[in-house]
Amino acid sequence: MLQTARTPGLNLHTYSEVEEVTGFVGNFKVKIRKKARYVNNECNGCGACWEVCPAYGYNEFNEGLNPRRAIYASFAQAVPMLAQIDMTQCIKCGLCIKACEVEAIDFDQEDEILEIEVGSIVVATGWDEYEPETGYLGYNVYPNVITQLKLERILAPNGPTVGHLKRPSDGKEPKNVLFIQCVGSRDLTRKTYCSAGVCCMISVKNTKLIKQHAPHIDVTVAYMDIRAAGKDYEEYFTASRKEGIKYIRTNVSRLQEDPETHNLKVVIQNTVGTTKLKEFEYDLVVLSCAMMPAKGIEKISSILKLEKSHDGFFKEFHSRLNPIDTKIPGIVLAGVSQGPKAISDSIVQGRAAASSLARLMMKDKYRILLIRATVDNEKCAKCGLCQLNCPYDAIKVEPDGAEVNEILCRGCGACLANCPSEAITLRYYREPQYEKQIDAILENI
């Protein structure tokens, strides 16, 4: 990110949202809302303001494990390193204004709307962790049931516990930890897909981290299948087993808390070895949850008019042969916005997306097929049904009749099938051609 910010000609808009996208390949117009930080660009991220701030808010970066101040930097390595104020928590005491040496704080700042012109768009909206419903495997009910991302923050050296594994109920180091795999994924009542082995590999990594940090902690993983497909992944999994981490192939039958100790009693059945259900007691349970499309994907998909697959991720042009392009020329997908994948695959797709756009943008011309809808303006009644039915937003009703944007049009013909005045024809696929085909096929009947 730092490199991005330093590259000349590359503009980075953080804490911003895309509001509107119009136009077509080569000529997109994008409206961006730069949200007010209430801190101007003079800020150098020194931190004097948040040291004096008396108001606290939910720490999004640390998954709410510890509070943050109302004026804060989103995380320690944020680029650009600017403070921002959470106005829902700020009490406007003005202590930060006094503490700031560069006079960067401005309570009256307003959202800024930027309008930029771009030739092409890469959608890389990433993912969010699946949030289990309250009560499912004790989530949100028992304090010592946490999700994988929370554990990530607990194990992080810059996290709330400075890298020491502590459980939420009493802040003590757990004696044993259970990881539960496939929470919310590979589940017919929740998400049916597998998150491409990412949750498996995060668990393997975190079990190794726990063992490295505190070898006396007993670590168990309850899994359906360990999906360690990829270069060196299986070896990594085997190394984790060699370190003494127990892997039990099972579904969790019951999970209940001991109200006094807040330990968790888990009933599981090792389906590879014995066939009997057994109760085990764990100090900490980690739910390895599915990958979900990022929050806000609905908004982006309606702004860009992109389709989504049944799993909620953006739909690619072809799942096997072209997983990068979308149905709209000039808009491509990268990373988990298209489907669950690990870091290396996301990098591959990101680079592929960038180079496919570079190839498109380096030419001055854009070739289109001639199979496009054409309008006979004398017949057009300007009813607007074509505009309503166009999946690509390519036809507009103008005062002189409907007008087709030949770049946006994909030649599907949905407009002409709906045109009551038969004013639209599709080049090379005209009505009489089909009529002749039908007649010829049914000639001998």
Partner 1 sequence: MAGTIRAQYPATIRPIRINCTGRVTPSLMMRAIGKGADGVIVAG
- The span from the CA of 179 to the CA of 165, in Å, is 14
Compose the 64-103 pattern: x for residues touching partner 1 by CB under 8 A, - for all others.
----------------------------------------
Total of chain residues touching partner 1, rule CB under 8 A? 20
Closest to partner 1 by CB, 287 or 402: 402
Show the tokens assigned to 28.
Answer: 């997109």
Residue 317 interacting with partner 1 (CB under 8 A): no
Span from 16-24, 283-291, 346-354, 426-434 in contact with partner 1 (CB under 8 A): 426-434
Say if residues 260 and 217 touch (Cβ distance below 8 Å). Answer: no
Q: Does 354 bind partner 1 (CB under 8 A)?
A: no
Per CB under 8 A, the list member of 389, 393, 396, 405 interacting with partner 1 is: 389
H helix or E strand, kind and range, residue 252: strand 252-257
Q: Describe the crossing of helices 148-155 and 198-213 by its angle, rounded to 10 degrees.
A: 30
Strand partners, 277: 269
For partner 1, the closer CB: 308 or 430? 430
* Residue 434 interacting with partner 1 (CB under 8 A): yes
| 60 counts as binding partner 1 under rule CB under 8 A | no
Residue 58: HSE in the Cβ half-sphere, 13 Å Cα cutoff: 4
Measure the CA–CA gap between 220 and 210, rounded to whole angstroms: 11
- What is residue 255's three-state secondary structure? strand
* The one segment of 26-34, 145-153, 155-163, 411-419 that binds partner 1 by CB under 8 A: 411-419
* CA angle at 333 for the pair 350 and 364, rounded to the nearest 5°: 85
Q: Of 58 and 434, which has the nearer Cβ to partner 1?
A: 434
Give the shortest CB-442-to-partner 1 separation in angstroms: 4
Binding region for partner 1 (CB under 8 A) out of 24-32, 118-126, 213-221, 408-416: 408-416
Nearer to partner 1, 174 or 411 (CB): 411
Q: For residues 40 and 107, what is the distance between their CA atoms, to the nearest angstrom?
A: 10
Burial 154-179 (b: 16+ CB within 10 A, else e): bbeeebbbeeebbbbbeeebbebbbb
* By the rule CB under 8 A, 370 interacts with partner 1: no
What secondary structure letter does DSSP report for 318? B
Stretch that binds partner 1, among 32-40, 55-63, 190-198, 424-432 (CB under 8 A): 424-432
* Cβ proximity of 178 and 151 under 8 Å: no
Neighbouring C-beta atoms of residue 153, cutoff 10 Å: 19
**Binding status of residue 431 toward partner 1 by CB under 8 A:** yes
Please select the residue that binds partner 1; options are 108, 232, 364, 439, rule is CB under 8 A.
439
Q: Identify the CA nearest to 20 among candidates 393, 353, 324, 410.
A: 393
Continuous segment of H or E residues that includes residue 236: helix 233-242
Among 124, 371, 383, 385, binds partner 1 (CB under 8 A): 371
User: Min. distance of Cβ 377 from partner 1 in angstroms?
Assistant: 20
Q: Pick the binder of partner 1 from 10, 272, 321, 442 (CB under 8 A).
A: 442
By C-beta, is 10 or 441 nearer to partner 1?
441
CA dist 58 and 62 (Å) reads 9
* Shortest Å distance, C-beta 307 to partner 1: 14
- Taking CB under 8 A as the rule, does residue 408 contact partner 1? no
Residue 160 in contact with partner 1, rule: CB under 8 A: no
> Under the criterion CB under 8 A, does residue 272 sit at the interface with partner 1?
no
State how far the alpha carbon of 275 is from the alpha carbons of 81, 94, 270, in Å: 56, 65, 6
Binding residues for partner 1, rule: CB under 8 A, are 371, 389, 391, 411-414, 416-417, 426, 429, 431, 434-435, 437-439, 441-442, 445
